Amino acid sequence: MIRDITIGQYYPVASPVHRLDPRTKILLTFIYIISLFFIDFFIGYGFVVVALYAAINVTRVPIKFMLKGLRGIVFILLFTVVLNIFFTPGGRVLFSWNFITVTEGGVKIALMMGARLILLIIGSSILTLTTSPIELTDGIESLLNPFRRIGVPAHEIAMMMSISLRFIPILLEETDKIMKAQMARGADFETGNIVRRAKAMIPIMVPLFISAFRRAEELAMAMEARCYRGGVGRTRMNSLQYKRRDCYAFIIGTLFMIVCFIL
Amino acid sequence: MDHIIKADNILFEYYNYDENGEKKEAITALNHISVSVKKGEFLVVLGHNGSGKSTFAKHLNAILMPKEGTLFVSGIDAANPQNVWNIREKVGMVFQNPDNQIVATIVEEDVAFGPENIGIPAEEIRTRVDDALNTVDMSEYKLRSPNQLSGGQKQRIAIAGVIAMKPECIVFDESTAMLDPIGRKQVMETMHKLNKEHGITIIHITHYMQEAILADRIIVMEKGEVVLEGSPKEVFKEVEILKNIGLDVPDTTYLIYLLNKEGFNFTPDVLTIKEVVDEIWQSK
């Protein structure tokens, strides 16, 4: 059961959006998020929904995959909406009971916040659904590179991300193995209250940590044996290159932002 | 200069520390050993756990440095910390656990890791990576994730990662120990191919006797010292010495040894089954 967890949610199909440079996609996502916060009319959201729908169609990722991302935030969404409905003053009073008052302004803000959150999540899931984790790492490294002068360890961050991606499945498999070994000797992970179950995890965590440290040590030695000495003087086999389609994507993104500002 | 490795009288010690961080005892891993390896040679270093064979291997790649004695790798002084990177470009190393030496999440990216580190231009890396993957017969897997590969395949990726750096010598530090018989066979074949067709010096550290039969030369280590040295035939006929330090000998050699103990008089330096058959067949 533990192996079902997938890292990232990359949906591999061939689409123009998949072929875009990861840096383009990251920057466009930023533009999109910033634009969202400038809109405070419902017509504006209508426009964003239409634009988003068009973009999703271009990615060829089924729309239900996009909506899946919303499941994780249902709770936050409800919380935000409810809080805003009851506690934002302003406008005509629609409903009043004891200390609870619902105003027109409150309902409006609540709906707006809800829409904003939903659009935010769907929009940024386009990035993670169409970009493989490796591309994403490369993109982040390249975008952070200019900040290296002020002490941002761009290469190190990217290296850490890609090593984590490499070892997450290995450590998951190992957890599975350790759990089975403990279960074979009568360990019980399924019954009891939360405290008991948490305590039952200790015999899993300890060997897992020891093995992770051992792996880290061996990996470090193997990397050094292959002449790894940090990002300085390093070349890349597949370096990122902006293509013409990235240029088009930026133009569309900028137009989108301008329209958002006007609305 | 036809020696790629010239180790003269090298000593290496590990220290155990007590709670106060003071040296409690020194464990001698290499006790003044002298070994030289010729260019293009296929050398096998045998010995069981704790014999110092892995410590020796780590010296060749400048992961460890000798405490005493001199070590020259491809004519470069390995005791000088400034030469570390030069040596690592010349001598590649393949380790035991295939999982713990693959860095990238895509096969070809991992093979490119070494050349990227030494600053090779992008186009050249591309050709080197393709060539290296061809050499180890893993081209069809180049866009896969290492997690989907078997142990033997992962180990061949690790080998490709080393040959893409174009080293003169590759050290295999028990690289076959964690593999199944099929994977072990594939890795052994790759090693011999690199040695014969590409002229790369191979130093293979192992405790499997069968893997040593095809070597040019064997060194047997025990307690940080070299106990036996010579061609496979010369080494394996010393059945008693090998058995004494807890190592096995090939079944063929052992059979002849037992027969000779019973009073027969066969030549002891036989290795293959055919040689044994001929030996027994032709005697009276």
ipTM of predicted assembly, 2 dp: 0.87
What is the rounded average pLDDT of the residues B115-131?
Answer: 93
pLDDT at res. B1: 54
| Residues of chain A above pLDDT 70, percent | 96
Residues within 8 A of A (CB atoms), B 47-76 only: 61, 63
On whether residue B20 sits in a domain, the answer given is no
Q: Is A235's CB within 8 Å of B121's CB?
A: yes
* B83 at interface of A, judged by CB pairs closer than 8 A: no
Q: Closest to A237 (Cβ–Cβ): which among B100, B103, B125?
A: B125
A229, B126: Cβ pair inside 8 Å? no
Q: Answer whether B103 sits within 8 Å of A215, measured CB to CB.
A: no
The H-or-E segment that residue B17 falls in is: strand B3-17
**Domain-located, residue B222:** yes
Cβ contacts (< 8 Å) between A215 and chain B: which residues?
97, 99-100
Look at residue B278 and tell me if it is in a domain. Answer: no
State whether A238 and B162 contact (CB < 8 Å). Answer: no
Number of domains in chain B: 1
Q: Is residue B50 one of the residues assigned to a domain?
A: yes
Measured between beta carbons, the chain B residues lying within 8 angstroms of A169 are 147
Q: Is the dihedral of CA B73, B99, A213, A177 positive or negative?
A: negative
Q: Which of B75-79, B89-93, B178-182, B272-276 has the lowest mean pLDDT?
A: B272-276
Q: Check which CATH number belongs to the domain holding B166 and give it.
A: 3.40.50.300
Contacts of A107 (CB under 8 A, 6+ apart): A85, A94
Band (A206; pLDDT cuts 50, 70, 90): very high
* Total domain count, chain A: 1
How many helices (H) and strands (E) are present in chain B, helices listed first? 10, 10
Cross-chain residue pair A162–B104, CB shorter than 8 Å: yes
Report the C-alpha gap between B155 and B189 in whole angstroms.
12
- The boundaries of the domain holding residue A248 are 8-146+241-262
Q: Which of B99, B148, B157 to mutate to test the interface with A (most CBs of A within 10 A)?
A: B99
Instruction: Give ∠ CA B202-B207-B210 in degrees, rounded to 5.
Output: 75
In a domain, residue B7? The reply is no
Could you read off the pLDDT of B154-193 as tens digits, one per residue? 999 999 999 999 999 999 999 999 999 999 999 999 999 9
Q: Is residue B258 part of a domain?
A: no
Mean pLDDT of B21-41: 86
Half-sphere exposure of B14 (CA within 13 A, CB side): 9
Is position B1 within any domain? no
Alpha-carbon distance of A137 to A155, in angstroms, equals: 10
**A188 min Cα distance to partner chain B (Å):** 29
In a domain, A205, yes or no: no
- Give the gap in angstroms from C-alpha A169 to the nearest C-alpha of chain B: 8
pLDDT band at A145 (very low <50, low <70, confident <90, very high): confident
Q: Read off the amino acid at residue A98.
A: N
Q: Is residue B88 part of a domain?
A: yes
Structural domain of residue B113, as residue ranges? 39-65+78-232
* B248/B250 Cα distance (integer angstroms): 7
